[in-house]
Amino acid sequence: MTTPRHRDDEGAAGVLQFAILGLLHETPMHGYELRKRLNSQLGMFRAFSYGSLYPTLRRMRDAGWISEDAPDPAVEPKPLASRRGKIAYKLTAEGKERFQTLLAEVHPDAYEDEGFGVHFAFFAQTDASVRMRILEGRRRRVEERREGLRSALSRTRERLDNYTLELQRHGLDSVDREVRWLNELIANERAGTPPTVTHPEQ
């Protein structure tokens, strides 16, 4: 029997694989470059430990989705850890096909925090109908979270100290902002216009 925790682990691994495929679809990278991009661009290592990356890369290599371009140890005899850092990973034809398949799929994982962030990062390469399904699914999920927060706040308001109450209000404000943001994105998708990028003042 598959336990909820096992399903969560499988979902997390799938999100990480999708992120790696998407980044390598742009250009081949060394492991440390992948790690930096996963953290800086996608925020992936908030949820995944650094030790998750190389086992995942090995599984993807064994599946035929990526290939490794390793340095020749006879020419450059380095310790294993150093050689591993110099391995360049790139997508195979099967890996490119797998990425396109994942771009076209919509699973409940795409509505969760990490899964949504990764899918959204690759929206420029995603079909419009798939983008809309993911955005609407994410909005439903966040609206459910908002209702849960409102319900909890109304039940416990009288028992909370001011600081805990303020923390809960802050969480509710954050969820409200995301719902408004998603509403704008969905409206833009329906109108066929890309989101407006606002650059911070220098």
Total of domains in the chain: 2
Q: Are residues 111 and 143 in the same domain?
A: no
Cα–Cα distance for residue pair 196/116, rounded to 1 Å:
19
Q: Residue 106 falls within a domain, yes or no? A: yes
Which residues are CB-contacts of 45 (< 8 A; sequence separation ≥ 6)? 35, 38, 39
Which residues are CB-contacts of 21 (< 8 A; sequence separation ≥ 6)? 60, 65, 66, 91, 95, 98, 99, 102
Order of strands across the sheet that contains 88-91: 29-30, 88-91, 66-69
Q: Are residues 83 and 164 in the same domain?
A: no
The pTM for the full model equals: 0.81
Q: Which among 164, 120, 174, 119 has a CA at the least distance from the CA of 142?
A: 174
Q: Which residues of the chain have pLDDT under 50?
A: 1-9, 200, 202
Q: Are residues 10 and 92 in the same domain?
A: yes
Q: Which backbone phi and psi does 29 adopt, to 5 degrees?
A: -145, 155
The reported pLDDT for the residue numbered 144 is 96
Q: Which of 103, 119, 135 is the last residue of a domain?
A: 119
pLDDT in tens, 124-183: 999 999 999 999 999 999 999 999 999 988 888 888 888 988 998 999 999 999 999 999
Q: Are residues 137 and 184 in the same domain?
A: yes
CATH of the domain at 21: 1.10.10.10
Q: Are residues 23 and 104 in the same domain?
A: yes
The reported pLDDT for the residue numbered 6 is 43
Q: Which of 87, 119, 151 is the last residue of a domain?
A: 119
Which residues are CB-contacts of 16 (< 8 A; sequence separation ≥ 6)? 38, 44, 48, 52, 53, 56
Q: Are residues 138 and 62 in the same domain?
A: no
Which residues are CB-contacts of 49 (< 8 A; sequence separation ≥ 6)? none
- What does the block give as tokens for 85? 């850092």
Q: Residue 201 falls within a domain, yes or no? A: no
160 is in which domain, residue-wise? 127-191
Q: How far is CA 191 from CA 138, 185, 196, in A?
A: 19, 10, 13
The reported pLDDT for the residue numbered 88 is 95
In degrees, to the nearest 5, what angle opens at C-alpha 48 toward C-alphas 42 and 52? 115
